Chain A
Amino acid sequence: MTTPLAHYLILAALLFSIGLAGALTRRNAILVLLGIELMLNAANLNFIAFWRFGPHPEKLTGLMFVLFSIAIGAAEAAIGLALVIAIYRHRRTAQLDRLDSLKG
């Protein structure tokens, strides 16, 4: 293992900011969800990197957290995409700036 921890953390930071910028910038609801999934994955990478390089890798804390995080990410993606489909069925659009009927 010759790659230091900081490289993994920098990669996770880059991934997180790409996901964040995409989620804030794109108009389509599905792509916002994709950005959120990328952010979740960046956090998972952080957890695994800290587990691997941390003081007590035999306690498997980081691994367990990531397993549950993957499961929750899957559940959230399923619900989010179901919502997008339901909204499309009523409004015939998935572009976020057209879904503004609740706007003040």
Chain B
Amino acid sequence: MLNEFAFLLCAALTLAGAVAAMTLRNLVHCALCAAGAFAGLAALYLQLDAQFVGFAQFLVYVGAIAILIVFTVLLTRGAEIRPGESTASPAPWMGLLVGVLVLACLIGSIVASPGLFRVPSQTARASVQQIGEQLMNQYVLPLETIGLLLTAALLGAVVIALREPPDK
């Protein structure tokens, strides 16, 4: 009962944040509502007994990516929208149609599988020690590759966004 209520609350927060992020005019409001959606998702991960992932999601998405988006909005003066312009591209109905079709496909396939509506009885525990052991034993190659990828992304982002010194 409490579980269902908590799920509905977090789901409502996430969906409201996502809808607001995609429809508001002011870009800073969009970014902050998206941060709210990410926080709602972190709460959902906590409900699903994935504590480590929930905290990591909060730290990375709300604590870093939302701030990055906000910085970019400010650096590209995106917050100044002229009053007459519309926020959507000239043919928004095409994008909406695709979205609705994808939604219909996904929900159709979910509803058509009755096995998904059962409530299982097993508990899942993912202790940090287990995650660490798996990262070091089974997933060590992806771990090292991610390290390489993040280093490359860091260097790449710095180089791309670097202000070139004026030619003398």
Q: Do A and B bind each other?
A: yes
Q: Which of B46-86 contact A (CB under 8 A)?
A: 47-50, 52-53, 56-57, 60-61, 64-65, 68-69, 71-73, 75-78
Q: Check B100–A19 contact: CB distance below 8 A.
A: no
**CB atoms of B69 and A81 under 8 A apart:** yes
* A79 pairs with B157, CB closer than 8 A: yes
Bound form: Cα–Cα A58–B64 in Å: 30
Question: Chain B residue with minimal CB distance to A20?
Answer: B99
Question: Would you call the interface of chain B mostly helix, strand, loop, or mixed?
Answer: helix
- Out of B100, B131, B152, name the residue touching A60 (CB < 8 Å): B131
Within the assembled complex, what's the spacing in Å between the Cα atoms of A37 and B157?
17
How far is A75 from B61 in the complex, measured between Cα atoms in Å? 11
Q: Known interface pairs A17-B106, A28-B78, A70-B61. Does A78 touch B157 (Cβ–Cβ under 8 Å)? A: yes
Residues of B within 8 A of A17 (CB): 99-100, 102-103, 106
Interface size class of A (residues with CB under 8 A): 35 or more
A18 to B163, CA, bound (A): 35
- Of the candidates A21, A31, A38, the one whose C-beta lies within 8 Å of that of B96 is A21
A73 vs B19: C-alpha distance when bound (angstroms): 20
Instruction: Please pick, from B4, B65, B100, B161, the residue contacting A74 in the complex, using a CB distance under 8 A.
Output: B65
Whole-angstrom distance between the Cβ of B44 and the nearest chain A Cβ: 6
Across the interface, name the chain A residue whose C-beta is closest to B153. Answer: A75
| A64-B156 Cα distance, complex, nearest whole Å | 26
Instruction: State whether B89 touches A19 (Cβ < 8 A).
Output: no
Q: Are B7 and A27 in contact (CB under 8 A)?
A: no
20 more contacts with CB within 8 A, not counting A13-B103, A67-B131, are: A3-B3, A4-B116, A9-B110, A17-B102, A20-B98, A21-B95, A24-B99, A34-B21, A37-B65, A38-B37, A48-B44, A52-B124, A57-B124, A63-B52, A63-B126, A66-B53, A70-B57, A74-B60, A79-B153, A82-B161
Query: What string of 1s and 0s marks CB contacts (under 8 Å) between A54-72 and chain B?
Result: 0001101001101110111
Question: Is A6 in the interface zone, CB < 8 Å from B?
Answer: yes
Q: Which residues of A contact B47 (CB under 8 A)?
A: 3
